[in-house]
Amino acid sequence: MKRFLAALVTVVALASPALAQTRALPPGEIRSNGDITFGNALKLGKREGNKTVITPDSLQIQGPGSSGPVDGMSVTPSATTTANTLSALLGRTVYITDFMPLGSTDITAALGLAEAKLGAGGGRILLPFSTAGYTITAKHQFNSNVSVEGEGRSAAIITSNFNGDVFAFGDGTTTNQNSGVRNVTFRSSITRTSGAAVALRGTFNAKVADVTCDVNPYVCVDIYSGPNAFKIHVDRIMVPAAGYVGIRVGFGNADGGPADIFINEPIISDQTRAGIEIASTGGVQLNGGDLLTNKNALLVSPGNGQKVFALYARGTYLDTSVEEGLKIAPTGTGVVVDSQFSDLWSATNGQTTGKAGALVQGTAASVRSVSFNGPRSFNNGGEGIRVEGGAYIDISNPQIGFNGLFANNTYSGIYVAAGVSNWSITGGRSGAGTGFTATNRQKYGIEVAPGSGNRFGIVNVDLTGNVTGALSNGATGSDQTVIARGAPYAFNGANFGVGTNAPGNLVTIVGPSRQPSQASAGGATVQISSGTGATSDTGIFLGSQTNTSGWMQCASPGSLTLPCLVNPNGGAVGLGKPAATSTADVPSIPLTNGQPTTKTSPVSGMAPMYVDGQANKLCFIIGATTSCAQLTSQ
């Protein structure tokens, strides 16, 4: 169905030659497909919903600038009254090739010219696809509000020929804001020994994304501190070639370092020091990615005056390192505190060096409040996790197995060094039972070295399936709890209560008042028995009657009572009295085969006695006299 336009539309600017005579246009209409036409003579545009899109074949703008530049025209953005000229809008994006001599690849001078064109407000410098690539011969220091963007990693390749920083944002003394690099590959024609491809030296709201450093890198992205060094995004960095460090944070900063850094999905390999190194920061989030075949995958290494605070790493692969996958190693006065590593995969590290999947070094003062949530550590040359120092180190729900590949039955799943205190391992497993099908070579599930380690807990961890055993606990501290599958139970350092949350003695068992007669029916406060632990088991039953007595009964519940044997293999049985102050006040009943070699000394007010099993006599020692009575069978 056709709808006719209500108003006469006059087109004053067609690109066709001037008409020799006046011609009337057919009535305007909006056709069923949305086309806006004047019969078949002219198509003006198209109606799309409640919008009209004008798309004539060609258009000439009448008025100021109609015969030349249109930069004098203004555009008013939606929901604002401020008009921007087309010159201002278009001027915020420039092509680097507009500032380069024809046929040249060198962008060294062109970068400065492009920034000058952008002006104080900044903008984007675009690097279009170039088969020859681009070259740079000196560092370029960028202004605030400038971003460099290529048309793709392989489309915009920049090759430098010098040491030191290539692209620098900020100088460490003033803040560079709202700048960054995207979709660019950096290469070097020399073996670099210093500087970074992208150096953020005091930046706020910087963004480095989809950048590759693939030929002779030294450091790909280097994040320094500086005034207001904060809110920095580093996304999808790739470093597939041998260098020193892929991403470095806080190197050389003797303060809290840059803060609120978000590193997402890096892929970094073959670095001679570390895939990522963090020396000083007030907050880093590392999310995902793969750090493989580096010396160390993730190295946390604050030095003198440096502090790593609020480091959160999640779901990152730490794989096939020469040494450790994760290494926390402060030196001097460096400190690592309040940091967390969640869902890390640390595998196949240190196979030729005997290094661990994760290593924590330091002292109780230099490494504190560090937690590992759900770590998976397999197939490493040394331990799955090795804790050599620190305090308040907590490992929860680990999945650890098949470590110790460097030497069988030498390295344990988790190792805690002598003297380390205030730590916990809860849940999960360290032993067989993972998805690996090889033989588990771990010595113990958990090994605590002999020494003064104290205030720790090993709770609900499956430690079965290791070569030597489940647990080796050499800690001598008095405050430790061990409740683990395959390991002996231990509880030191506090009173233990059953039926009460306020035990008054080392072991306190509280239950209702029980009668001795209940023992034969399986009713008692304490049961010591053989069997399955059912109330019908044969055993010793203990109980108490409120304000009356305590009792012990040997029985087979549901049947007859049973005899109780006290020292059945011989030895004295002491029957005490309330005022006893020494063992001399305790009478004894020696069970002997013949008269004892040394008779029990008489005690005033007591009647020591013994049974002569050979002569079948019951003897009493009264004063200095021994009197015996012959026993006869009934």
Q: For the segment 570-590, what is each residue's pLDDT rounded down to a tens digit?
A: 555 555 444 434 444 444 454
Q: Are strands 267-269 and 238-239 parallel, antiparallel or unpaired?
A: parallel
Tally the domains of the chain: 2
Which of these three, 43, 63, 83, is where a domain ends? 63
H helix intervals, 248-375: none
Q: Could you give the CA distance from residue 70 to residue 628 in angstroms, rounded to a whole number?
A: 133
Q: What percent of the chain has pLDDT over 90?
A: 57
pLDDT at 252: 77
pLDDT at 575: 54
Q: How many residues does the chain have?
A: 634
Q: Is residue 624 part of a domain?
A: yes
Q: Is residue 225 part of a domain?
A: no
Minimal CA–CA distance to 380: which of 300, 295, 322?
322
Q: Is residue 80 part of a domain?
A: no
Name the pLDDT band for 543 (thresholds 50, 70, 90).
confident
pLDDT in tens, 456-496: 999 999 999 999 999 999 999 989 999 998 877 666 666 77
Q: Is residue 31 part of a domain?
A: yes
Q: Is residue 41 part of a domain?
A: yes
Q: Is residue 515 part of a domain?
A: no
Q: Is residue 33 part of a domain?
A: yes
Report how far Cα 469 is from the mean position of its chain's Cα atoms.
Answer: 28
**Higher-pLDDT residue of 439, 370:** 370
Q: Are strands 526-529 and 180-188 parallel, antiparallel or unpaired?
A: unpaired
Q: Is residue 375 part of a domain?
A: no
pTM: 0.75
pLDDT at 91: 60
Which of these three, 63, 87, 104, is where a domain ends? 63
Which two structure tokens, joined as six digits, stand for 445?
A: 């599930």
Task: Give the pLDDT mean for 52-62.
Answer: 58
The answer to whether residue 602 scores a pLDDT higher than 60 is no
pLDDT in tens, 124-136: 999 999 999 999 9
DSSP structural state of residue 519? G
Which of these three, 63, 86, 102, is where a domain ends? 63
Minimal CA–CA distance to 223: which of 244, 245, 251, 256?
251
**What residue numbers bound the domain in which 625 lies?**
588-630
Q: Could you give the CA distance from residue 346 to residue 351 in angstroms, rounded to a whole number?
A: 12
pLDDT at 21: 61
pLDDT at 549: 78
Task: Give the pLDDT mean for 74-84.
Answer: 54
